[in-house]
Structure 1
Amino acid sequence: MIAPSETWLKTWNEKRNLLACPNNLNDYFEETEVAGKEIDHLELGSVSIPTGEILVRDPLVYIRKDAEPYIIKVPTGEFPVTAAVVVPDDEDCARYAAVKVQFTAYDAVRFEEALIGTEDLVDFNEGEFFGFNVDAGLGCVLDSETLKHFCAFQDKFHSENPGKNLYDDYFAVLFAANYAENPIYQREAGDWINWKIPETDYHIPFFQSGFGDGTYPVYYGFDAAGNVCSLIIQFIDIELAYGEES
């Protein structure tokens, strides 16, 4: 984990109020309706966080050894992961609006974007975000340690299966099997798995990214004492996407 420069930290502290989430993300996980859309909640199992250095990535495109974690560390252990789902209707399929990792028993009173410490904050303005990139329609939560094991698995797979595709020739079967076991809020090909990295006890949940490919913000939830209590990936701004125009 590379420490941010003093100049970057100074700018970050000056602009932290601009990194606040414009939505109350608690509503996504506590209410049954947001902006006129029915919301339900889907438990995705647990995520392994052995070091507290957390990352969010597209698991099929951006798993690289040099991927940097967010600068604020989180508690270590196994933590529950929940998706806030926009319930399907006659017009659309189920959409995962947000995914939350809950670290403590405390509720978040504010949400602030998670950063890795190299973002260009100088010209950053209110209403903008940095986020992470999705090019394969999926996101995942992992840790610096589980990233190493994922990369090792990825390298071994490609060395032992030349010309094979990691999704088509490995993960697709797992997604289809999970759909068969847990069909609610999934398409037949599968929309989530809780993957146990082979030859380890570490779990990494994979999940669909709301509206597909794009760039999505990740927020820390801070409790009343100022401690990190959760991490939320926002795939859909429900109020913006579905709310009535003023």
Structure 2
Amino acid sequence: MQPTKEWLEKWQKAKKFLKPVKNLEDYFTLKEIAGKELDVMDIGLCSIPTGEFLVRDPLVYLGSKYEKEYFQKIPIGEFKTEVCVVKASDEDCDRYAAVRLKFNDNEISYFEEAMKGIEDLEDVNEGDYFGFAVDAGLACICDKKLHDLYCEFYEKFAKENPDGNIYDDYFAKLFEESYKDNPKYQRDGGDWINWNIPNTNYHLPMFQSGFGDGVYPVYLAYDKDNNPCQLIIEFIDVELAYSETDEEDED
């Protein structure tokens, strides 16, 4: 469903405020920010067969067929899922600061926040974002077709396991196996999986959401010809989060 003409008119005025306050590409090109060492991890392909997409918590929200896709579209294909990791220190474990799908090597001209086309755009200020909610510490980038298949899987699991829990009874063992196979930048319970939807060839990576539950922005990067070249989820503003921590530690 496309946004109304009235909403699009408001968005044209508001979207200049709904962009990142920094260059998000830094998470994938710099080796450190705010004194924190960074690395980039490839967790495998993400399948985008239609170009319509949403970003959601897979355990809490993705299983609902009523979840709405963003109105912007992205290229169709299989794209590498890159995770910017803030490396563990004495005080903390490895944290996932950002996740990216890079569609091509075009130079970024500008960013837009991914939008559903139903947001209330009154009183939007610079640096604001709408974001998506995480309530189970996980997130995923999901094509519309994969969303439909996931809902079918979710409903089937619920019907066959009326007293079950989809994480404890299904996904937990997959996360544990992911840790055993790829322990780098994971806790022993597992922090990411690249899940094949059963009976398909579609890849749906799931990954930890930085500091856990919260609301996180999703941005699309466009080139000079207004074509999308990257999708980036920002989980942690590394400079803001860790600079404040360092200052508090010094007091």
* Shorter-normalised TM range: over 0.9
Counting matched residue pairs gives: 244
SS at the partner of 1:149?
Answer: helix
Give percent identity, aligned residues only.
55
SS at the partner of 2:155?
Answer: helix
Q: Does 1:107 align with 2:119?
A: no
SS at the partner of 1:157?
Answer: helix
Deviation of 1:67 after TM superposition, in Å, equals 1.2
Aligned partner letter, 1:129: Y
Q: Which moved more, 1:205-214 or 1:216-225?
A: 216-225
Give the corresponding residue for 1:81: 81
Give the corresponding residue for 2:9: 10
Give the corresponding residue for 1:20: 19
Give the corresponding residue for 1:163: 163
Separation (CA, whole Å) in 2 of partners of 1:240 and 1:233 = 16
Q: Give structure 2 stretches of 5+ with no counterpart.
A: none
Separation (CA, whole Å) in 1 of partners of 2:72 and 2:8 = 12
Deviation of 1:225 after TM superposition, in Å, equals 2.4
Q: Which moved more, 1:98-107 or 1:211-220?
A: 98-107
Give the corresponding residue for 1:199: 199
SS at the partner of 2:101?
Answer: strand
Deviation of 1:176 after TM superposition, in Å, equals 0.1
- TM-score in terms of structure 2 length: 0.95
Deviation of 1:110 after TM superposition, in Å, equals 2.3
Separation (CA, whole Å) in 2 of partners of 1:62 and 1:126 = 28
CA RMSD of aligned residues (A): 1.0
Give the corresponding residue for 1:177: 177
Deviation of 1:200 after TM superposition, in Å, equals 1.0
SS at the partner of 2:17?
Answer: helix
Q: Give structure 1 stretches of 5+ with no counterpart.
A: none
Deviation of 1:70 after TM superposition, in Å, equals 1.1
Separation (CA, whole Å) in 2 of partners of 1:88 and 1:110 = 31
Separation (CA, whole Å) in 2 of partners of 1:109 and 1:193 = 32
SS at the partner of 1:18?
Answer: coil
Give the corresponding residue for 2:234: 234
Aligned partner letter, 1:12: W
SS at the partner of 1:243?
Answer: helix
Deviation of 1:226 after TM superposition, in Å, equals 2.1
Separation (CA, whole Å) in 2 of partners of 1:146 and 1:45 = 16
Q: Does 1:57 align with 2:56?
A: yes
* Dislocated runs of 4+, deviation >3 Å: none
Give the corresponding residue for 1:71: 71
Aligned partner letter, 1:242: Y
Deviation of 1:45 after TM superposition, in Å, equals 0.3
Separation (CA, whole Å) in 1 of partners of 2:203 and 2:90 = 35
- TM-score in terms of structure 1 length: 0.97
Separation (CA, whole Å) in 1 of partners of 2:155 and 2:103 = 31
